[in-house]
Each structure stands twice: as C-alpha cells, then as structure tokens.
Copies of this chain bind each other. A is one copy, B any other.
Amino acid sequence: MTFRKRKKQHPLPPVEETAGTFTIVDGEDYLDEIFENDMRISRSFSHFQLSEEEYKENYGRVIRELSATGEHKFFVAIDRYGRYLGHVWICLKIDTVDFVPSAYILDIETLFPRIGIGGALLNRAEEWAHEMGAKKVSLRVDLKNPARTWYAKKGYSERAVIMEKLL
C-alpha cells in the first residue's frame, strides 16, 4: 500500500506585504473578522475604564442595538488571498433631523493606513448608499480624531456636535 504524498502547502506571504493590491467586496462573509477587529479597536475610544467582561458584554449590546433598525451593509477590503484588510459598516435610515433617506457610516477601519483602503471603502459605501436612494451620508467622529480632516478632504462638512455631561 502506498500513500500519495501530500503536496506541500506554501505559506502565504505576510498580509503586510500583500495589502497594497486590495479589492473591495461584499462583507457579509467576513462578519467574524469585522467584529473581531472592531471590538479590539473600538475600546481605545472609550473614555471609561471597563473590565474585559463588562466591555465585551456592552460591546455586544451596542452591536445588537445598532443592528435592530435600518438596512445594513458591509464591505471589506481583501488582499489577493482573500484576507481581511479593513471594512466599512453602513446603515440606511430616515435621518432624524432632515427626514430624508440617509446613510450612516457606523464604522470604517483598516489594518494598514496610507495605502488607500479607507478611501476605497468609503467610496464603495457612498456608491451603495446612492444606489439605494440615500440623499446624504452622515457619520460621527470624535473632536480630536485625525479622521476629522480626512473626512473633510473627502467632501464631508460639519453639521452638528455631540455634547455630553458626566453624571
């Protein structure tokens, strides 16, 4: 009895090297990677100290609450091996101030900056929103987040402020 020798599998090049040539595809098959990355990154924006357990539980509740209304769409950037490089999460709703169909960018994240992944994801999200009949795209960005100037370059203007008071 002989065994067919199994073809040796070449290891893939590290994703840092392949990220430069990315494509944007529907993100529904990448929800695990999307929320894994988002959960890790989002924590750094919180102004509160939370235990690991408390953060995970509340993060899950936020995702469920955000998902409960509107029509949701995900796009991901992938390398040529289909590996996750970044995502955008967009949601269609009636805007609470303008009362027209609007798209809300709930989240946009990339593993690697400055190679155009974020811009390509944003473009794809805007295209989709336009096809779906949205009249505008809105998003929230923290006052000190450098993304604020990035969005301004992409044609976004400031409409409102979020104010808050600790209790």
Interface size class of A (residues with CB under 8 A): 35 or more
- Chain B residue nearest to A167 in the complex (CB): B130
- A115-146 residues at the B interface, CB under 8 angstroms: 126, 129-130, 134-143
- Contact of A163 with B167 in the complex, beta carbons under 8 Å: no
- Report the minimum CB–CB distance from A86 to chain B (whole Å): 19
How many subunits of this chain does the assembly comprise? 2
CA distance A137 to B66 in the complex (A): 18
Contact of A99 among B48, B134, B157, B166 (CB under 8 A): B48
Question: Chain A residues in contact with chain B, CB under 8 A?
Answer: 42-43, 45-48, 50, 54-55, 58-59, 61-62, 65-66, 68-70, 93-100, 103, 126, 129-130, 134-143, 148, 151-152, 154-167
Closest 8 CB pairs of A and B: A156-B163, A160-B162, A58-B99, A138-B164, A65-B69, A130-B167, A156-B165, A61-B94
